[in-house]
Amino acid sequence: MLTQQLTKNRGLWAKESCQSCVYQKACMGASWLGRYRPRAFVMQRNLLMRVESSPKQRQGTESHAQLAEKRGVEAPTPEEACNRIRAGERLLFTQAFCSKLYRLYCHPDAVEIQIDGETVNISITEDKANYRGEDWLQLLAEGLILSDPKVMVGDLYLFDRISDMPLKVNIKTTLVPYMNPKYAIAKDFVREGSFVDKALVMAVLKRRNKYADLFHVTNWQGLPLCPSCKEDATWCGFWPVCCEHVPRPTKQTKLGSFGVRKRRYLTRQEALSR
Ligand code: SF4
Ligand code: SF4
């Protein structure tokens, strides 16, 4: 029952194969990795709480739709996308991808795929209004998903569908601040099937594991505010419920935040037993 609800709540990512997937409860969206938001994660993913999107979020969705139209990003079915890439077309599209190996799923803003002989060139683009360094973790997680030889597009294994022979994979990732597109940055993530910088892969997996530690948590009120949360986080749909449970800093957490450990004195009994 819970697994069915989890799939339903995946929205865009919900697919037939999730119903029989053993990683149903252990996989998560790459979009979480760009920011560490433990409270929002527990409420949305674990407790399946839904709130109306804030005006800022709606504005962001609109801007993304306009950008996709301007760029000519198509939205073919997974079957159609695979057939067109197999026929040698350079296809710029958007679809849901997932990797059982990394237990991650994503829906990038734009993915361009073209087969060139024995190589397949993949370019992933993510648009952000203003981006911070950690936003790269989302984009690199999308690169990681597409680097999996058994990556799925919809319910199909992408590489098995687009070619009969093994292909060498090149993956380029581009982050575009759409308010100032001239500051877009592109990075090679996979070159000829090998990760260019393994430290980046480790950073993505570390953030993923940090979230995985929260899979069993249900007491969101007991968690500290998300690090990106300011005093008045009206941009977050959870703010109306969240602001009623702002943890008050205690003397101990204040000291802890400066890296100072509270000294603990031994009890008389402990001292005598030494
Ligand atoms: S790994 Fe893929 S198929 Fe499995 S539950 Fe996650 S999104 Fe669904
Ligand atoms: S309101 Fe702040 S603390 Fe609450 S879920 Fe949103 S970002 Fe996190």
- In the chain the beta strands, taken as DSSP E runs, fall at 28-29, 91-93, 97-99, 104-106, 110-116, 119-128, 152-153, 156-157, 168-177, 185-191, 194-195
Q: Which ligand is nearest to the CA of 102?
A: 1
Q: What pLDDT is attached to residue 256?
A: 47
Q: What pLDDT is attached to residue 260?
A: 43
What strands lie across the sheet with 119-128, from one edge to the other? 91-93, 110-116, 119-128, 168-177, 185-191, 194-195
Candidate ranges 42-56, 174-188, 241-255; pick with highest mean pLDDT: 174-188
Mean pLDDT over residues 40-48, rounded? 90
The finding on whether 220 has its CB within 6 A of some atom of ligand 2 is no
Each residue of 232-262: pLDDT tens digit?
777 788 888 888 887 765 555 444 444 444 4
Would you say residue 269 has pLDDT above 80?
Answer: no
E strand or H helix that includes residue 8? helix 2-8
Q: What is the DSSP-derived secondary structure letter of residue 191?
A: E
Which pair of structure tokens corresponds to residue 136?
A: 């790269």
- So where are the chain's domains? 52-204
Would you say residue 15 has pLDDT above 50?
Answer: yes
Would you say residue 51 has pLDDT above 50?
Answer: yes
Q: Which ligand is nearest to the CA of 11?
A: 1
CA dihedral defined by 123, 128, 134, 138, rounded to 10 degrees?
A: -50
Which pair of structure tokens corresponds to residue 202?
A: 């480790």
The finding on whether 124 has its CB within 6 A of some atom of ligand 2 is no
Mean pLDDT over residues 40-60, rounded? 84
Would you say residue 77 has pLDDT above 90?
Answer: yes
Q: What pLDDT is attached to residue 63?
A: 87
Tell how far the Cα of 4 is from the centroid of ligand 2, in angstroms.
26
Q: What average pLDDT does the chain have?
A: 85
Each residue of 125-143: pLDDT tens digit?
999 887 788 899 999 999 9
Tell how far the Cα of 28 is from the centroid of ligand 1, in angstroms.
8
**Residues whose beta carbon lies within 6 Å of some atom of ligand 1:** 13, 17-18, 21, 23-24, 27, 98, 100, 103, 105, 152
Q: What is the DSSP-derived secondary structure letter of residue 19?
A: G
